[in-house]
Amino acid sequence: MIDSKQRDRRWFAAELRSAAPIRVHAGEAGVLYDEIGRIVLGHASLHGVEWGLWERLRLAVDQLRLVIDLRVDDPTYGRAVRVVKVGSEAGVWRPATLENANAIRLTEYLRVHGFRAAEAGPEPTVAFGPPHSALNPTAHDRSGHLYVSLPRRRAAESHGHPAPAGDQVMEVERAPPLALTATASS
């Protein structure tokens, strides 16, 4: 028999798989994030940027203290962006090329934090530089920008139906609850 906690976990995982992706900054352009680092969206995108991708980039610019200029490369789903300019928060923005040390720092940061230098696939990917190079194993030339993407959800998944056999489906598990214990104060 399934207890209520197991049923809740299964429901939560199913809801996350079936929910449409959350997109942010639809129809907006300009400085959209300005805390430690800064993110500028050069051109408004009708559907915005997927929240998961936005959050990862936001963390990266804060950690590295960078300013980045984005273009949404996947206007329908917001799961891919091109970083066209990168600079330090107090410095000059430069095109995202291999001559830009900040662009290389951003690429390496993303790779260390779960992005693979690869063609779009079942995990977050990044591509930067000339085709068939260490940071860009694809056939596409990414010499003038850094391409960052999340895996695209299959249409069947996004409508609550199981993915076709042979496709990879990411299981979502909730983190165990924190043990909150009262401590005696002296």
Q: Which of 107, 49, 94 lies closest to 74, judged by CA?
A: 49
d(CA 137, CA 133): 5
Mean pLDDT in residue range 9-32: 67
Backbone angles phi, psi at 39, to 5 degrees: -125, 130
DSSP run (H or E) holding 181? none
Whether 77 is in a domain gets the answer yes
Q: What is the pLDDT of residues 62-94, one digit of tens each?
A: 999 999 999 887 766 778 899 999 998 777 889
Answer whether residue 163 is part of any domain.
no
With respect to residue 138, please indicate whether it lies within any of the assigned structural domains: yes
Angle at which helix 101-112 crosses helix 51-64, to 10 degrees, equals: 120
Q: What angle do CA 112, 115, 121 make, to 5 degrees?
A: 155
Q: Looking at residues 40-57, what average pLDDT do you find?
A: 88
pTM exceeding 0.85: no
Residues forming beta bridges with residue 11, ordered by sequence position: none
Q: Does residue 60 lie in a domain region?
A: yes
pLDDT in tens, 119-140: 777 889 898 989 998 888 888 8
Instruction: For the chain, report the end-to-end CA distance as a whole number of angstroms.
Output: 46
Give the model's pLDDT for residue 110: 93
How far is C-alpha 10 from the chain's CA centre?
Answer: 25
Tokens of 35: 């805390």
Domain presence at residue 43: yes
- Domain of residue 88 covers 22-152
Do 96 and 143 form a contact (C-beta atoms < 8 A)? no
Percentage of the residues of the chain whose pLDDT score is greater than 90:
28
Q: Is residue 37 part of a domain?
A: yes
- The number of domains in the chain is 1
Q: Is residue 108 part of a domain?
A: yes
Q: What's residue 10's pLDDT?
A: 54
Q: Decide if 91 contacts 72 (C-beta within 8 A).
A: no
Lowest mean pLDDT among 52-66, 92-106, 124-138, 172-186: 172-186
Res 118 pLDDT > 80: yes
